[in-house]
C-alpha cells in the first residue's frame, strides 16, 4: 500500500469537517497548527500565497503585437474594480477599465503600444506605423480564464476562486484579497477587501449549515477558519442555520 501523503490526509480530514479543497486546482493545500485567532475559531486550510500568484500567472494570455509579444491578464482591487494587466519581459503595468476606455500608451522593451477598451475587448497595437499586427483580447474571457485557473477552495456547495494582489513596490493595483464564486446563471460574484484588513482580523464571508467560514492573511499564507454560528445569530432573522449558504460580506457582480 502506498503511504498516505499530507495532502491526502488533509482532504480526508477536511471532508469530515464538511470542507473540501479542489485538488485539481488548489496546489499544495496543507493542514497547519496556527493558534486560533478567536476562542472558537479553528484553522482548517492554508493556501500558500506564492501558489495563488503562480496560478494567476498561468492565466496570462500571450498575443503577438507589433514586433513583440504581450501578456494580458486581469486583477481586482480592494473595491472589486477590474483591472487589465500587461507584461513584456520584466516590465509590467496595469490599468483600471475606466482608464482604458480613453486609451493608454505604454513604453515596453520592444516598442511603445496603445491599449484601448472597446465593447468589452482590449485592443492593443504599436504606436508607430504600420501598427500591425494588432491584438484584440476579451475582458470577460480573461476573467473566465483567471477564475478557471486560480487556486480554488470549496465550502460545499460554494466553490471560490482565490485572487491576490500583493503589496508590491511600483504595482498599480492596490493590495487586495478576493474570492470569486459563480452562480447558476454563470454570473461571477466577488467578495473583496483590502489586504491589510484581511491581515488584521479574520473576515467571515459565508455561513453554511450553522458553520461560519472566514479567511486571514498570515504571511506567507492565506488561512481559512471555521467556527459555529453564535447562538444569538442563529435566533436572528438572518437565518444562519439554514442549509443554504448565507453570504456575510458585501459582494459585487463582475462584468460578463
Residues 6+ apart with CB under 8 A from 231: none
Distance of CA 136 to the CA centre of its chain: 24
Q: Please state, in angstroms and rounded to a whole number, the distance separating the CA atoms of residues 63 and 69.
A: 5
pLDDT value at residue 183: 95
pLDDT value at residue 243: 63
What is 101-152 written as a DSSP string?
A: HT-EEEE-SS-EEEEEEETTEEEEEESSTT--S-EEEEHHHHHHHHHHHSEE
Averaged pLDDT, groups of 10, the chain, 256 residues long: 35 39 36 47 96 96 97 97 96 95 96 97 97 97 97 96 88 95 96 96 95 96 95 55 82 91
β-partners of residue 208 are 211
Buried b (16+ CB within 10 A) or exposed e, 106-128: bebebeebbbbbeeebbbbbbee
pLDDT value at residue 58: 95
pLDDT value at residue 23: 34
Q: What pTM, to 2 d.p., does this model score?
A: 0.81
Residues 6+ apart with CB under 8 A from 245: 155, 157, 158, 206, 207, 208
pLDDT value at residue 171: 80
pLDDT value at residue 230: 83
CA separation, residue 72 to residues 77, 115, 164 (Å): 17, 11, 17
Amino acid at each position: 500500500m502506498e503511504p498516505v501523503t499530507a495532502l491526502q490526509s488533509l482532504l480526508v480530514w477536511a471532508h469530515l469537517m464538511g470542507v473540501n479543497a479542489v485538488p485539481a486546482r488548489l496546489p499544495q493545500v496543507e493542514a497547519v497548527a496556527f493558534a486560533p485567532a478567536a476562542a472558537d475559531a479553528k484553522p482548517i486550510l492554508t493556501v500558500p500565497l506564492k501558489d495563488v500568484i503562480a496560478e494567476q500567472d498561468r492565466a496570462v494570455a500571450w498575443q503577438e503585437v507589433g514586433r513583440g509579444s504581450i501578456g494580458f491578464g486581469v486583477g481586482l482591487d480592494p473595491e472589486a474594480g477590474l483591472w487589465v494587466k500587461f507584461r513584456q519581459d520584466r516590465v509590467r503595468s496595469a490599468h483600471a477599465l475606466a482608464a482604458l476606455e480613453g486609451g493608454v500608451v505604454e513604453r515596453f522593451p520592444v516598442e511603445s503600444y496603445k491599449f484601448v477598451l472597446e465593447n468589452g475587448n482590449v485592443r492593443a497595437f504599436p504606436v508607430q506605423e504600420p501598427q500591425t499586427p494588432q491584438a484584440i483580447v476579451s475582458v470577460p474571457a480573461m476573467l473566465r480564464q483567471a477564475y478557471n485557473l486560480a487556486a480554488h477552495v470549496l465550502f460545499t456547495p460554494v466553490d471560490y476562486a482565490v485572487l491576490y494582489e500583493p503589496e508590491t513596490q511600483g504595482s498599480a493595483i492596490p493590495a487586495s484579497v478576493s474570492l470569486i464564486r459563480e452562480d447558476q446563471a454563470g454570473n461571477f460574484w466577488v467578495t473583496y477587501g483590502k489586504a491589510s484588513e484581511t491581515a488584521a482580523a479574520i473576515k467571515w464571508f459565508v455561513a453554511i449549515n450553522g458553520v461560519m467560514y472566514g479567511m486571514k492573511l498570515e504571511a506567507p499564507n492565506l488561512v481559512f477558519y471555521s467556527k459555529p454560528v453564535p447562538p444569538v445569530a442563529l435566533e436572528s432573522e438572518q437565518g444562519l442555520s439554514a442549509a443554504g449558504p448565507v453570504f456575510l460580506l458585501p459582494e459585487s457582480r463582475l462584468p460578463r
